[in-house]
Structure 1
Amino acid sequence: MTLLERQFNGTTNAREVLLEELIDLGRDIIDSRDLDLLRENANLNGESFSGKMSKFGSEYSKWYARNFTMPPQLVQAIDDNVVYVHDLDQYAIGTTNCIFIPFDKLLREGFNTGNGSVRPPNSIMTAMSLVAIIFQSQQNAQYGGVSANKLDYDLAPYVTKSFAKLFRKGLDYFDEGQANESLGEITMSRTDLAELYPKAFRFALKETEIETLQAAESMVHNLNTMSSRSGGQIPFTSINYGTCTSPEGQLVISSLLTATMNGLGSGETPVFPIQIFKCKQGVNQQQGDPNYELFLKAAECSARRLYPNFANLDAPLNLQYYDPSDPDTEFATMGCRTRVLGDRFGRNHCSGKGNLSFNTLNLVRLGLAHGTVTGRRSVADEVGFYEDLNHYMDIALEGLLHRFNIQAAQKAKASDFMMREGVWEGGENLAPEDSVGELLKHGSLSLGFIGMAECMKAMYGKHHGEDMEVHAKAVAIVRHMREYCDLKSEELNLNITLFATPAEGLSGKFTKIDRKVLGSIPGVTDREYYTNSFHIPVYFDLGAAQKISLEAPFHEYCNAGAISYVELNGNARNNPSAFIKIIKYALEQQVSYFSINHPIDRCSNCGYEGVIGTNCPSCNAHENDVHIRRLRRVTGYLTGDYQTRFNAAKQAEVRDRVKHL
């Protein structure tokens, strides 16, 4: 008996309905009839052969999970348009989401990709090449992002190896004596060697700088060209750096920034890796700090290339587990915003764990049910709102727990590289047939939310950027959700966290259904998208400082991750002092993770970069005659061209963005 026959007990009608659904879905994919479906992932060419093939498998897997795997009440909550299950296509097989990779361990000990073993590197050039390979290998063991949380620290030893090798070569070249055991460890900070062997030291320093820059350029190029994920997508990579103060670590940071500013082969802005500069008082925030010049360089790079984003290590939330002697306890993030620093089981550091899965709540639908904007009531029913919020959080959490049980039951061999090589901490101690549940408990399960602005508009007639009383109510809702997550963490003895959802494809999905059911409601459902998490709407006109100060209070409650942006015009790269002032203000306001958006257009005819209208200001080429690549940020990361990669909702959001001057 088939699955359909078992599910519907031989009811022909029901089987035919479901089969018809699958047939229609197939035509939507084959004929590219539903571009929003094919453009759910802005970093994938969904209209390519491989993209369509990937989408076929993805959509069937979602269909299977809904009909044969998920709890019925979760399916109903999805049908109610209140809960969204992210990466539903991975649900039934128990794949996990994202991870911070322990590059120090893998590079120090070597690793095996499954087809062959790799020795520890003896130079920075080889080490950076292996970083790309590790990223690619781990990406195949999961569905979300892969991140390096302290790449400057992880790569510094291999700069030392290159420098030592080149210093010994310099001694031979300049007849300053042969290297011997009495020299001890040769590092870039050895001023005594610089005095004793000045020519060899200068030679080694210069050659190491050249090699490290070449290595950084090679890594950036590899991470933008290695299509390894299904559908021809390159690995979803993030790198965090900025606090290593050794000369070797500083060279890694500087070289990554230079390579990013140089761009790809024809000067294009790299889309990956997402880069995050970690900001820390006493390290890189004031004149005289050892890495302050690198912070200035990071701001210059961000003004030119949109990366790096900026992580605030001094935000109270991020200081909770900070140990100055252990860089692994520094706050770091996946590029879109994921945060996994805390662990109730004691692994209060970043590397070797990640987020397992997350579900998102549509706050707008709850606001419409209990607010004033529909005319059903004159005063918002806040009691009813919170009752429904708790009800749907219970269902969303039940779905996370159900999915966690599937994930925990998987055998180590199912995520071969991740467990065998100890990418997930402790995985190397498991036999292939062992289940992974005891290790996965160190990861996080997250509840997310979207559309706070439209929810407030539905409840009170104003969003939280228009009225401070409404703003306080919005903060109270997020605080309540965080308290719920903390309470459930204690009850269930798991890491339950609150996520300010990075809504890419989801931003339009909720809206489309709500508008179909409830009609077009001004300020709520009349646009193609709901506003990202707790953000002030992109179309609301206000200054940069005001937007930052309004969004800052939400960050401390979102312990699974959050990001805030401001939007500048195309002159951002020409005003570095203003750029730096904005970043520092966001850090002072305790924003945990921050970035500045500004448009970057590129003319394929002459290579001009900046803001391009209908005609290129450099060569006057018309947009219909040449390709104008319009780079924009989606939810923390960049895309090749928002007009061909974004779905309709995100394109509409980009068009609506006002400048926060």
Structure 2
Amino acid sequence: MTIVIKKNGIEEKWNSHKIVEAIQKSNARVKDKYKKLTNEQILSVILYVESKLKDTEKINTSELHNVVIEALSVYNPNVCLEYKAFRNYKERFRKSFQNAAEHSNKIVYDGDKENANKDSTLNSTKQALISETLMREMMIQFELKPEWVKAHEEGWIHIHDLSSRYLNQINCCLFDMGNLLNNGFEMNGSKYLEPKTVQTAWAVVGDVTLSASSQQYGGFTIPEIDTVLAKYAERSYNKHLNYLIENKIEKNKAGKMAEEMTIREIEQGYQGFETKLNTVSNSLGQIPFVTITFGLDTNKWARIISSIILKIRKEGMGKNRMTAIFPKLVFIYRKEVNGKKDSPNYDLYKQAIECSRIRLYPDYLSLDNPETNNLAVVYERSGKVVSGMGCRAYLSPFYHPETGEEIYTGRNNLGAITLNLPKYAIESKGDLNRFYQLIDKYAQMVFEIHLDAYKKIAKSKGSTNPLMFCEGGSWMSVGYNESIEPIIKASTMSLGYIGLEEVVQYFFRESLKHHNKFALDIVKHLKELVNQASKKYDKLFALYSTPAESLIYRFQKMNRKQYGRIKNVTDREYMTNSFHLHVTEDVSVPEKIYLESPFHGVATGGRISYCEFPYGVDFNVLKQSIDYAMQKGLYFGVNVISATCCNCGYQGDFEVCPKCGSDNVTSVSRVCGYLSFGKIKGDSRYNLGKQAEIRDRIKHRTNEFKELYKYDKEYRNGETTSN
């Protein structure tokens, strides 16, 4: 009797019934009944197999299946094909499970540093990461076309958040918190009434943020939060005022007391909101990537809310007054509203800059310079602010199908896929035509992957993300059991790119600084591809300058393995994000802003520029820098290292405390668009590529604004002189 050795090593006696069952399953999948095996033929197949095993003492399952395939090919080729397909399916499933098991084991014992804002030492985070591992394998093996998987695994493209795509979720969003709060809503079976006070409103916003951010992936933005909460501050004030007057407090005194009580409510509410977002993970096992925008509303209470957000952020969080990571703060800039000395919110602008000196945030989003800034065009045309989704993504214009109104808040993105531009350059061997052919080929593949995802996401029901789709967070609502397709017609899908600096280095052996026009032409070509695809497929595709936290490492590692070390192209541990100048480029602040500003006008789906400053940089120097970036129409971020000694509380830019000598240091720095803990109690959260990139960063010179006189006419005309 032949012994069969199973995949797990267990030995069993030959059992013909198991082969009969497998053949019958394959037989059932043959659609044409006249091409199926009869029972007599199945018996003949078994006898054929047994004759082959006559002199075999032991055989493994893989060899046995080959014998069965041989027999089926003799008796019925149609069933043979189905048997092989099923066998391949099971083999793929086994391989997927094995890959998932190996990676899961690594997570359990070693953790994971792909995302710096996921603490993989926690069991809840490990659980989420292991779940993502399995979903990623399911996507690769069963959901994506083999050629798409091959392109991803060979590094031609990178499909971001591959595991999250398995659930057909949306990506980043601009959540309409005001609409949700206005009418009350239901969450987890409980009915929330509209808040009656501003402190309650802050608490509800926190609850909604944790819940809704768990039903998507990517960034969760609450646009213009000062405007959203101003009405609740007014309610708190009136409530306090009426109570004090009823208790015989003189009206003027009561008014002052009511205002103080309301301000205290706002402070306590925001402190609770900020603490919650920095300490409580959502159900995805991570701190939610939350952004709030503010600074444009001139209403009294909106101004107070903006001021309090900045005040509390500057003071720091917790016992050691550490720099908070979330929410990401974005100050919306418009010169006549907050950028001029006589503008109504100029004091808030100065307060924001004072906060950025030591806490990095806020970032600054310009609504000026419509010649190069699409967000300024939208604002001047419609009065609408396009806040950033996540760390740098922006929505394309969308008009309400019934009213014709431009809609931005309440919309979302459906994902991003990034092109490995340095790989195309190396593969082209210096042939520009070949380089652009590879861009065209893989950009088209990206659009096809997005379209495939769109069809699947469109089948999702409102119940998959009820706060967004059913309760008011979106620009329109559907029922719990209705398709979300009407909603996602307003969603964008992003074509990303990475490594322009390395592309320029490959072709010219010089940096992007010296070949700015060549790099800009590449981005313009990508933008044209996006425009063509949007028109061809009637979908909102967008060009995105990818914030590649882990991808700078993954792509570089793959390129180096395949092509070896090429100076300034593959010889570092990382490649450069999007269109940025290399972090080692010795340029001044104004020069960096000037050189990167043209890319903002082309990559309108997502872009940001940063400059490196010392901790506690001089206020006037920083203000002049931000003034200039705002004049150029940029989305601009301040980079400093904000470290706190966990032993003595000393703060500054250091790895070892200069006060007490301790290396028990927690530091905050910018990963891509978001802030992250570079170290927590001395241990780095970053992958090796990001660690190397941060080490290589140099501070940009801040004393050379006069050099712009020679090439920037707007600056020469005095448009950005510091007030």
Query: Normalised by the size of structure 2, how large is the TM-score?
Result: 0.82
Q: Alpha-carbon deviation of 1:576?
A: 0.6
What letter matches 2:407 in structure 1? H
Quick one: which amino acid aligns to residue 358 of structure 1?
A: A
The aligned counterpart of 1:246 is 299
Task: State yes or no: 1:10 paired with 2:50.
Answer: no
Correspondence 1:119-134 to 2 at 5 A: 119-134=193-208
Distance in 2, Cα, partners of 1:497 & 1:220 = 31
The aligned runs of 1:331-350 (5 Å cut-off) are 331-343=386-398, 348-350=406-408
Is 1:485 aligned with 2:526? no
Name which of structure 1's ranges 404-413 and 447-456 shifts more when overlaid on structure 2: 404-413
Judging changes above 3 Å, is the alpha-carbon distance between structure 1 residues 149 and 617 closer, same or farther for their aligned structure 2 residues?
same
Structure 1 partner of 2:6: none
Partner of 1:621: 661
Q: Is the 8 A contact 1:124 1:162 kept in 2?
A: yes
Distance in 2 (alpha carbons) for counterparts of 1:585 and 1:338: 22
- Alpha-carbon distance in 1 for matches of 2:445, 2:202: 44
Count of matched residue pairs: 613
Residue 341 of structure 1: how far off its partner (Å): 4.9
* In 1: Cα distance, 2:668 partner to 2:589 partner: 21
Distance 1:275 1:365, change over 3 A: same
CA contact (8 A) 1:114 1:417 kept: no
Please report how far the alpha carbon of residue 164 of structure 1 lies from its aligned counterpart in structure 2 after TM superposition: 1.0
- Which whole-Å deviations, capped at 9, do the CAs of 1:562-605 have from their partners, x for residues lacking one? 11000012242xx11111111011112222x1011011110011
Alignment partners' CA distance in 2, 1:112 and 1:284: 38
Of 363, 374, 377 in structure 1, the residue corresponding to residue 421 of structure 2 is 363
Change (3 A) 1:433 1:15: closer
> Counterparts in 2 of 1:574-653, with a 5 A limit?
575-591=618-634, 593-614=635-656, 616-618=657-659, 620-623=660-663, 627-642=664-679, 643-653=683-693
Question: 1:74 — aligned with what?
Answer: 148
Q: Distance in 2 between matches of 1:313 and 1:51?
A: 38
Trace 1:367-382 onto structure 2 (pairs within 5 A).
367-371=425-429, 380-382=430-432
RMSD across aligned positions (CA)? 2.1
Are the aligned partners of 1:599 and 1:610 in contact in 2 as well (CA < 8 Å)?
Answer: yes
Q: Quickly say closer, same or farther: Cα 1:641–1:414, change in 2 above 3 A.
A: same
Candidates 472, 475, 478, aligned match of 1:422: 472
| Corresponding residue number in structure 2 for 1:309 | 363
What is the rounded CA distance, in whole Å, between the counterparts of 1:72 and 1:271 in structure 2? Answer: 39
Q: Higher Cα Rg: structure 1 or 2? A: 2
In 2 relative to 1, CA 383–609 (structure 1 residues): closer, same or farther, beyond 3 Å? same
2:311 is aligned with 1:270: no
173 and 46 in structure 1: CA distance in 2 versus 1, 3 angstrom threshold: same
Moved more, 271-280 or 96-105: 96-105
CA distance, structure 2, for counterparts of residue 295 and residue 22 of structure 1: 49
Q: Aligned partners of 1:656 and 1:612: how far apart in 2?
A: 15
Q: Which amino acid aligns with 1:416?
A: P
Corresponding residue SS for 1:606: coil
The farther-off stretch of 148-157 and 333-342 is: 333-342
Q: Label 1:105 to 1:19 Cα distance change in 2 as closer, same or farther (>3 A).
A: closer
1:604 to 1:15, Cα distance in 2 relative to 1, 3 A: closer
Find the counterpart in structure 1 of residue 607 from structure 2. 562
- Tell whether 2:283 aligns with 1:229: yes
What is the deviation of 1:13? Answer: 7.0
Following the alignment from structure 1 to structure 2, what is the Cα–Cα distance between the partners of residues 153 and 299?
A: 21
SS at the partner of 2:261? Answer: helix
Gap change, CA 1:441 and 1:324, over 3 Å in 2: closer
2:347 is matched with which residue: 281, 293, 306?
A: 293
Unaligned runs of 5+ in 2: 1-21, 27-61, 63-81, 702-723
**Residues 113, 545 of structure 1: alpha-carbon distance in 2 compared, 3 angstrom cutoff:** same
Cα distance change on mapping 1:175 and 1:105 into 2, 3 Å:
same
Correspondence for 1:256: 309
Structure 1 residues 92 and 6: CA distance shift in structure 2, 3 A: farther
Query: How far does residue 17 in structure 1 lie from its aligned partner after superposition?
Result: 5.2
Counterpart code for 2:413: N
d(CA) in 1 for partners of 2:510, 2:284: 43
Between 1 and 2, higher relative CO (CA 8 Å, sep ≥ 6) is seen in 1
Percent identity for Structure 1 against Structure 2? 30
Could you say what secondary structure the match of 1:158 adopts?
helix
Q: Distance in 2 between matches of 1:175 and 1:93?
A: 58
Is the CA contact (8 Å cut-off) linking 1:84 and 1:360 kept in structure 2?
yes
Deviation, 1:25, is 2.5
1:93 lines up with 2:143 in the alignment: no
User: 2: distance between equivalents of 1:652 and 1:451?
Assistant: 16
1:23–1:142: structure 2 CA closer, same or farther, 3 Å change rule?
A: closer
The answer as to 2:73 corresponding to 1:30 is: no
Mapping for residues 78-477 of structure 1, pairs under 5 Å: 78-176=152-250, 197-231=251-285, 233-266=286-319, 267-316=321-370, 317-322=374-379, 326=383, 329-343=384-398, 348-371=406-429, 380-427=430-477, 430-465=478-513, 467=514, 470-477=515-522
8 A Cα contact 1:529 1:653, kept in partner: yes
CA displacement at 1:431 relative to structure 2: 2.7
String of CA shifts for 1:354-394, please: whole Å, max 9, x gaps.
111110001010111124xxxxxxxx311111111101100
**2:339 partner SS:** coil
* CA distances 1:92-147 after superposition (whole Å, capped 9, x unpaired): 32111021111111121111112311111111111111111111121122112111
Give unpaired runs (5+ residues) of structure 1: 177-196, 372-379
Q: TM-score, normalised by structure 1?
A: 0.89
CA contact (8 A) 1:344 1:495 kept: no
Please tell me the residue identity of whatever aligns with 1:434: E
Q: Secondary structure at the match of 2:512?
A: coil
| Corresponding letter in the other structure for 1:588 | Q
- CA distance change for structure 1 residues 115 and 225 in 2, over 3 Å: closer, same or farther? farther
Could you tell me whether the CA contact under 8 Å between 2:275 and 2:317 is conserved in 1? yes
160 and 656 in structure 1: CA distance in 2 versus 1, 3 angstrom threshold: same
- In the aligned structure 2, how far is the partner of 1:132 from the partner of 1:16? 42
**Distance change >3 Å, CA 15–CA 122, structure 1 → 2:** closer
From the superposition, tell whether residues 271 and 137 of structure 1 become closer, same or farther in structure 2 (CA, over 3 Å).
Answer: same
